[in-house]
């Protein structure tokens, strides 16, 4: 199997590259070459996909069984992908997002037929617009597949913006602010599990013209997620709760992600991906996967970097929580 990952250095894609190489596939990355060097056995094409002429020249006459685009976020990016790969790929895979599904959800579990409507988060709306543009081309025979990941993490990729900052706050007894009351149901997906589902779709002719989400099956709560991390760290987290509307006041972008995604209970039906990829099995529990994260940081103290902006934001949110408690007590 000869595949190209456009991007290939993010949370999910690095694990997919790893699994593809383990399978003996011919893997090429197309990116600007500004992140870590590609892993051994992986080919590198250095170009900026946002400059189509540069990318076309760098690709030369290369052709691929499948191309996975990790870095398309607006319809203009879809146009570039269609133009660049129409005649050089047997399949073009657009990585969308499960946050595109309607919020709040009207029916659970979520299936691939659940409407794509998210009025709260611009990121999700842009991905929906991408899907709509791509579907027009798929109707004309363009060989594409849409994949919608949910909240995905890996051993060296903490599942929240701020990375190690959250582990540091737990270790120091500093508050962690969560949306709502922390009891909404949430799904975490390990990137290696996701990789099995994605790679099973590549070169799969029956997947052309189809959309899939690939998520974990384990049902967690936000409180439970951080309590599990605390168990690995040997200290219970100091959890605080705020309504998502209050989070928006402190940080518009973070609040949009809460309100447009993480504040809602979500349960996914993975029966479609299992029909198309029988070997898919979300086998890595969050308890096991999060232990690997903690161990990865502990293996090398240089990895344990606190992000000042994320740390300050959590302090600001904790301050809002304290002020609200004070008002309630008056």
Query: Tokens 């928006």 identify what position?
Result: 248
Instruction: Quote the pLDDT of residue 330.
Output: 55
- Rounded Cα–Cα distance for residues 85 and 91 (Å): 9
Give rounded-to-5 percent helix, strand, coil for the chain: 45, 20, 35
List the beta bridge partners of residue 273. Answer: none
- 220 phi and psi, to 5 degrees? -120, 170
Assess contact for 244 and 263: CB atoms under 8 A: yes
In the chain, where does DSSP find H-type helix? Answer: 11-22, 52-59, 75-85, 122-139, 164-172, 191-201, 222-233, 244-250, 252-257, 271-276, 286-299, 308-329
Cis peptide before 21 (omega within 30 of 0): no
Tell me the whole-structure pTM to 2 decimals: 0.94
Both tokens assigned to 31: 């990116």
- Rounded Cα–Cα distance for residues 109 and 91 (Å): 29
- Rounded Cα–Cα distance for residues 208 and 201 (Å): 9
- Rounded Cα–Cα distance for residues 114 and 221 (Å): 22
Count Cα atoms within 13 angstroms, Cβ side, for 167.
24
Assess contact for 110 and 264: CB atoms under 8 A: no
Q: What is the largest CA-CA distance in the chain?
A: 72
- Rounded Cα–Cα distance for residues 37 and 48 (Å): 16
CATH architecture of 2-324: 3-Layer(aba) Sandwich (3.40)
Query: Tokens 């657009």 identify what position?
Result: 94
User: Which of these, 32, 33, 35, 45, lies nearest to 3 by C-alpha position?
Assistant: 45
Instruction: Quote the pLDDT of residue 100.
Output: 96
User: How many Cβ atoms sit within 10 Å of the Cβ of residue 113?
Assistant: 8
How does pLDDT run along the chain (330 residues), one tens digit per residue?
A: 999 999 988 889 999 999 999 999 999 999 998 877 788 899 999 999 999 999 999 999 999 999 999 999 999 999 999 999 999 999 999 999 999 999 999 999 999 999 999 998 999 999 999 999 999 999 999 999 999 999 999 988 777 888 999 999 999 999 999 878 899 899 999 999 999 999 999 999 999 999 999 999 999 999 999 999 999 999 999 999 988 777 777 787 777 777 778 878 899 999 999 999 999 999 999 999 999 999 999 999 999 999 999 999 999 999 999 888 766 555
Both tokens assigned to 205: 């002719």
Domain residue spans of the chain:
2-324
User: Which of these, 69, 55, 45, 66, lies nearest to 2 by C-alpha position?
Assistant: 66
Chain centre distance of CA 175: 25
- Rounded Cα–Cα distance for residues 195 and 20 (Å): 8
What value, to the nearest 5°, has the Cα angle with vertex 305 and ends 301 and 307? 170
- Rounded Cα–Cα distance for residues 262 and 318 (Å): 18
């Amino acid at each position: 199997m000869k595949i190209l990952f456009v991007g290939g250095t993010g949370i999910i894609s690095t694990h997919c590259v790893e699994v593809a190489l383990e399978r003996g596939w011919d893997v090429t990355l197309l990116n600007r070459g500004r992140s870590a060097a590609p892993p051994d056995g992986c080919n590198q094409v250095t170009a900026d996909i946002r400059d189509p002429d540069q990318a076309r020249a760098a690709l030369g006459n290369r052709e691929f069984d499948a191309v996975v685009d990790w870095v398309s976020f607006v319809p203009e990016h879809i146009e570039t992908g269609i133009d660049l790969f129409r005649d050089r790929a047997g399949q073009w895979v657009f990585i969308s997002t499960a946050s595109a599904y309607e919020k709040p959800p009207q029916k659970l579990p979520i299936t691939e037929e659940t409407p794509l409507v998210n009025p709260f988060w611009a990121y999700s709306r842009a991905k929906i617009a991408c899907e709509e543009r791509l579907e027009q081309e798929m109707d004309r025979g363009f060989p594409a597949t849409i994949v919608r990941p949910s909240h995905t993490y890996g051993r060296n990729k903490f599942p929240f913006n701020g990375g190690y900052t959250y582990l540091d706050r737990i270790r120091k007894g500093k508050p962690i602010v969560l949306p709502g009351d922390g009891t909404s149901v949430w799904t975490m997906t390990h990137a290696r599990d996701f990789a099995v589902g994605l790679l099973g779709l590549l070169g799969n002719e029956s997947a052309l013209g189809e959309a899939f989400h690939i998520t974990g099956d384990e049902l967690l709560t936000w409180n439970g997620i951080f309590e599990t991390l605390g168990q690995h760290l040997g200290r219970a987290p100091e959890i605080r709760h705020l309504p998502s509307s209050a989070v928006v006041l402190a940080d518009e972008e973070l609040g949009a992600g809460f309100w447009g995604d993480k504040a809602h209970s979500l349960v996914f039906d993975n029966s479609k991906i299992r029909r198309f990829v029988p070997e898919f099995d979300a086998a890595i529990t969050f308890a096991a996967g999060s232990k690997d994260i903690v161990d990865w940081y502990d293996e090398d103290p240089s990895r344990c970097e606190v992000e000042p902006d994320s740390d300050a934001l959590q302090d600001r949110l904790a301050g809002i929580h304290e002020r609200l408690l004070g008002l309630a007590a008056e």
